[in-house]
Structure 1
Amino acid sequence: MNRTLALVNVIGLLIGISYGIHNPIVPIFAKNEIGASYAELGLIGLANFVPYMFIPVLVGMLLGRFNNARLLSLGIVINSAATMLLSVARSVPEIMALRALTGVAHAFFWPPAEAIISNASTPESRVKNIGRFTGFFVSGFMIGPLIGTFLLDGLDVSYRMLFQIATFVMASAIIFSLKASKNHAPMAHRFDLSAIKEIARFPHVIAILIYCASSFGMILTIYPAFLNDRSMSATHIEALYFVFGAARVATLAMTERLARHTSLVLVASTLCISTGLLISFYSHSIIEFAVAMLFMGFGFSIIFPLTLEIILRKTRRENSGATIGAYETTFGIGWSIGPISAGLISEFSGNAVPYLVFFVIGIGVSALCVMRKKTLDPVAS
């Protein structure tokens, strides 16, 4: 592993730890301290992810013109500021504005990081290196809830203090992004409309990605409040997200091997997500929810590196920066659909119903994976 890849992986780990510490608590904080309803939780999630529908394309345009590690540094600065300001938020609109700022920051995190990795990798090692980076981020997301549990339960810190501690962890990543910027030149990529059109060549991949991103957005923004209503305490919720992260890390460790069986793995992933959602619909104990988290952890881990690789392996290298931006924008569309849909369904039909609805959709997406098997496997060209 070269020095640039090592630095980016450390950045992913630190950002993941920060996210793991505070992200599962944001819906609980909004619900219990601010008094947000499920519909408002959906709006908070929507605000978080709407910027990710548009900003990644703009970032993709910048990847060939600016030092990508500096763009990454900008994302860390914005994200740190938004997380710190959560500690003084007093209303739902304030939380929405800060989560929207986080969404902007996230667009300056993933596309530049993926572009740096893609540029530093051979076509043969790209999916492995992207999977490894994702694994570092997810490892952080696994460690973070344990730290959050210790802080909340062992040291009895408040939610607001937790956000401040998460900010410190996130801000420390700036040191490594500045080091990376000294060793990384802008990518030799150009931007044109044909680069964006690359994504439109893969409608089945778009459907898979939007479903998984929608479900993932729901798990990040609405699910903690649902767990709280099912008598899970904040420390129990942090522990469940540790299980979720552990399942993702274990799966990502097998990225290179699983990538040889793309279509089969995509079917298994969507079925695991659906199964986890169905178990959640019926669950009331921490053991039952832990089983659900294990299933979803597998489903949400490998599917994103694989879908990106499907698109990049058929994309000209000079267009890969803009294509990554378009891919992440597609991800943002799904992220936005999930929270608002789940929030509204929870508000008007019951807080368990979204998980049944998304289970049914997942079965349909799994069937689509089976039908498009030949276009998903690496040998397809």
Structure 2
Amino acid sequence: MKKTMKDQKMVLIILLSNIFIAFLGIGLVIPVMPSFMNLMHLTGQTMGYLVAVFAMAQLIMSPFTGRWVDRYGRKKMIIIGLFLFAVSELIFGLGTNVSVLYIARVLGGISAAFIMPGVTAYIADVTSDEERPQAMGYMSAAISTGFIIGPGIGGFLAEYGIRMPFLFAAAIAFVACVSSIFVLKEPLTKTQLAEIAANAKQANFISDFKRSLQPLYFIAFIIVFVLAFGLSAYETVFSLFSDHKFGFTPKDIAVIITISSIFGVIVQIFLFGKMVDRLGEKKLIQICLIAGAILAAVSTMISGFWTVLTVTCFIFLAFDLLRPALTTFLSRAAGIEQGFVAGMNSTYTSLGNIVGPALGGILFDVNINFPYLFSAVIIVIGLGITIFWKEKQLG
């Protein structure tokens, strides 16, 4: 019988801290990137490529690391991921030419591919079906919180030098790595890992991708892609959209994103578990998709700071509830193969994060409203797909 979340408080704190630190490190560097760009004499195109190679590296590695999580254990993958993340931030902070920065970003993407499946599978292993939605809600909140406070801390640290946020991110990741070595214990026995490994084929991107097309997983993975695509397209053009259409200042935009994110985190922590209990994953996912599509379209018709803030709060909330609801469903469907499913979850998320911003930027150049309208259409398609979701899959 699994221990309750209360009995495993320290383990969950370490796991959530790990995922929080990874996303805090990503958020830390956001405010200094324009200054870093000027210091290194980088073009906007180069900065775009530096963002893309992170997602590409994560995309390519995720199926492999997902399998390795099942084969070699959750703890090892988490520790390796945190170590690689620390090294990537250190290299980026000390880098003096573009090729070194690319190496750092590739390492960062690989580290994310280790950390995400490892933590997701570990949480799934140590929580019961009843407690898992709440635990996944906490994980999603840790990700969001890292993004929220990261830029603020990064801006403060930049006062002490433009490279300081990167060095700080490396330091906290290393501390998390060391603490995980001593606090975390592998949740599966060697026999269980050997059994999973015996049932799994050699890690292969194509075979894993084909396997993700099975009816049990496919619809959920497509919605994972839709979520990542819609949210990244929305977020990528949000500051440009707000600046061009409403004349908002960077401070206005920062306030809207911060308040919206905090609102989402609060609901995740206190209400997500209850919402899943009352509605079930399928209905909650459908409600979030409906709200997301409507609000994305409404975003093209509104004006005024408070109206934009209100709409943004609820569209962020819809996306913030979708993520843990999908993760919970997938972890239940996975059985003992948590690593494979968590890895493919990361793969489809990366695909959305690569395609969404690219298309969002292209459409923005054509018409300022097109990225939001296109996001709405993609979300509606995702909603249509859930109609074919069989209830028995959610058992």
TM-score normalized by structure 2? 0.78
Higher Cα Rg, which structure = 2
Point out the more displaced range, 164-173 or 1-10.
Answer: 164-173
Find the aligned partners of 1:79 and 1:182 in 2 and give their Cα distance: 21
Contact (CA 8 Å) 2:125, 2:187: kept in 1 or not? no
1:183-209 Cα deviation digits (max 9, x unpaired): 655663335259762552233323221
Q: Does residue 170 in structure 1 map to residue 168 in structure 2?
A: no
Point out the more displaced range, 48-57 or 352-361.
Answer: 352-361
Contact (CA 8 Å) 1:68, 1:112: kept in 2 or not? yes
Match of residue 372 from structure 2: 355
Contact (CA 8 Å) 1:51, 1:332: kept in 2 or not? no
Q: Does residue 301 in structure 1 map to residue 320 in structure 2?
A: yes
Find the aligned partners of 1:200 and 1:180 in 2 and give their Cα distance: 37
Find the aligned partners of 1:6 and 1:349 in 2 and give their Cα distance: 46
Which one scores higher on RCO, CA 8 angstroms, separation ≥ 6? 1
Change (3 A) 1:242 1:236: same
Change (3 A) 1:297 1:91: farther
Find the aligned partners of 2:296 and 2:161 in 1 and give their Cα distance: 30
Match of residue 259 from structure 2: 243
1:258-295 Cα deviation digits (max 9, x unpaired): 22322332123223433454455467765455334312
Change (3 A) 1:380 1:117: closer
Kindly state the Cα deviation for residue 151 of structure 1 after the two structures are TM-superposed. 5.0
Structure 2 counterparts to residues 51-62 of structure 1, below 5 A: 51-62=57-68
Kindly state the Cα deviation for residue 176 of structure 1 after the two structures are TM-superposed. 2.6
Match of residue 82 from structure 1: 88
Counterpart residue type for residue 71 of structure 1: M
Find the aligned partners of 1:277 and 1:96 in 2 and give their Cα distance: 34
Find the aligned partners of 1:309 and 1:131 in 2 and give their Cα distance: 9
Query: Which secondary structure does the structure 2 equivalent of 1:122 belong to?
Result: coil
Q: Does residue 259 in structure 1 map to residue 249 in structure 2?
A: no
Find the aligned partners of 2:375 and 2:38 in 1 and give their Cα distance: 23
TM-score normalized by structure 1? 0.81
Contact (CA 8 Å) 2:363, 2:370: kept in 1 or not? yes
Structure 2 counterparts to residues 54-203 of structure 1, below 5 A: 54-87=60-93, 97-148=103-154, 150-151=156-157, 156=159, 159-182=162-185, 184=187, 188=193, 189-190=196-197, 192-193=200-201, 197=211, 200-201=214-215, 202-203=217-218
Change (3 A) 1:278 1:237: same
What's the % identity of the aligned pairs?
A: 17
Structure 1 vs Structure 2 CA RMSD: 3.6
Q: Which runs of 5+ in 1 are unaligned?
A: none
Structure 2 counterparts to residues 335-354 of structure 1, below 5 A: 335-346=353-364, 348-350=365-367, 353-354=370-371
Find the aligned partners of 1:97 and 1:272 in 2 and give their Cα distance: 40
Kindly state the Cα deviation for residue 164 of structure 1 after the two structures are TM-superposed. 3.3
Match of residue 217 from structure 1: 232
Match of residue 316 from structure 1: 335
Find the aligned partners of 2:96 and 2:308 in 1 and give their Cα distance: 31
Kindly state the Cα deviation for residue 343 of structure 1 after the two structures are TM-superposed. 3.1
